[in-house]
């Protein structure tokens, strides 16, 4: 019984720290967010942060994991609303790029995250996304919508295009104008996978 209660308390502590960090990182940016302020905001100590995440960078990683899961869910929802599997595939990528306009995602995931944690293509969430995209492309090949191509290679290129488009949107001086160009180019690039109808 005590073990279950302790595990629940630890999970609540982690959730409080992630919530406070997410707010601080979104509002002030990673570099300006004070560990003392965010632990005070959570009603916890710096020791709780170190115990649960190791350091501020570990906390950023946890925040990114949480946001990444939400982004994947949003992209899947866009896919599921589409009328055909191909349209769903495209809309999933477009939804991901469009999320670059959301201030929290822009700042934490696309600006501070790469600056602190390195190449987003190497983050665990991207690997899960790659597996899903590979399976989707393989299914589209099998249903003869997409040309016979190595599914993993195509998935890496499509995911890379969506990720780089989102990074471009986030870093630009005029994100909305860049978004239009990025989505148009993404659609054209992806359509190169389609089988010719004839």
Q: Grade residue 41 by pLDDT with cuts at 50, 70 and 90.
A: confident
Band of residue 51 on the pLDDT scale cut at 50, 70, 90: confident
pLDDT at 186: 97
Task: Give just the sign of the alpha carbon dihedral 29, 109, 69, 119.
Answer: negative
Beta bridge partners of 146: 194
Report the percentage of the chain scoring pLDDT > 70: 98
Query: What pLDDT, on the 0 to 100 scale, is given for residue 70?
Result: 93
Residue 9 has pLDDT above 60, yes or no: yes
Query: How far apart are the C-alpha atoms of 113 and 163, rounded to whole Å?
Result: 13
pLDDT of residue 129: 86
Residues 6 or more apart from 94 whose CB is under 8 A from it? 78, 183, 186, 187
Q: Examine the pLDDT at 169 and tell me if it is beyond 70.
A: yes
Please compute the mean of the pLDDT values over residues 106-125 and round it to a whole number. 89
Q: What is the dihedral of CA 144, 146, 152, 158, to 10 degrees?
A: -160
Residue 1 has pLDDT above 80, yes or no: no
Residue of 40, 45, 47, 168 whose CA lies nearest to 98? 168
- At residue 2, the pLDDT reads 54
Would you state the pLDDT for residue 198? 54
Beta bridge partners of 33: none
**Mean pLDDT throughout 58-80?**
93
SS3 146: strand
- As a whole number, the mean pLDDT across the chain is 91
- Give every CB contact of residue 131 below 8 A, 6+ residues apart in sequence: none
Q: What is the mean pLDDT of residues 105-110?
A: 94
Between 162 and 51, the higher pLDDT residue = 162
Residue 132: strand, helix, or coil: helix
61 backbone dihedrals φ, ψ, rounded to 5°: -60, -45
Helix (H) or strand (E) holding 70: helix 56-81
CA angle 69, 70, 76 (to 5 degrees): 90
pLDDT band at 173 (very low <50, low <70, confident <90, very high): very high
Q: State residue 135's pLDDT score.
A: 95
Domains belonging to the chain, first-starting first, are 1-54 (1.10.10), 64-191 (1.10.357.10)
| Alpha carbons 36 and 33: distance in angstroms, whole number | 9
């Amino acid at each position: 019984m005590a073990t279950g209660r302790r595990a629940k308390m630890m999970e609540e502590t982690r959730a409080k720290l992630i919530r406070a960090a997410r707010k601080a990182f979104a509002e002030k940016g990673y570099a300006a967010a004070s560990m003392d302020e965010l632990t005070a905001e959570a009603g916890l100590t710096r020791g709780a942060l170190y115990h649960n995440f190791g350091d501020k960078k570990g906390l950023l990683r946890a925040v990114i994991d949480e946001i990444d899961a939400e982004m994947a869910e949003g992209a899947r929802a866009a896919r599921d609303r589409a009328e055909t599997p191909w349209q769903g595939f495209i809309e999933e990528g477009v939804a991901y790029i469009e999320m670059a306009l959301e201030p929290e995602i822009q700042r934490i995931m696309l600006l501070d995250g790469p600056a602190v944690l390195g190449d987003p293509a190497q983050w665990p969430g991207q690997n899960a996304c790659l597996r899903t995209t590979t399976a989707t492309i393989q299914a589209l090949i099998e249903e003869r919508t997409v040309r016979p191509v190595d599914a993993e290679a195509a998935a890496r290129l499509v995911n890379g295009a969506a990720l780089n488009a989102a990074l471009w949107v986030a870093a630009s001086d005029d994100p909305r104008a860049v978004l239009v160009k990025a989505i148009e180019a993404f659609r054209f690039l992806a359509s190169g996978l389609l089988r010719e109808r004839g």
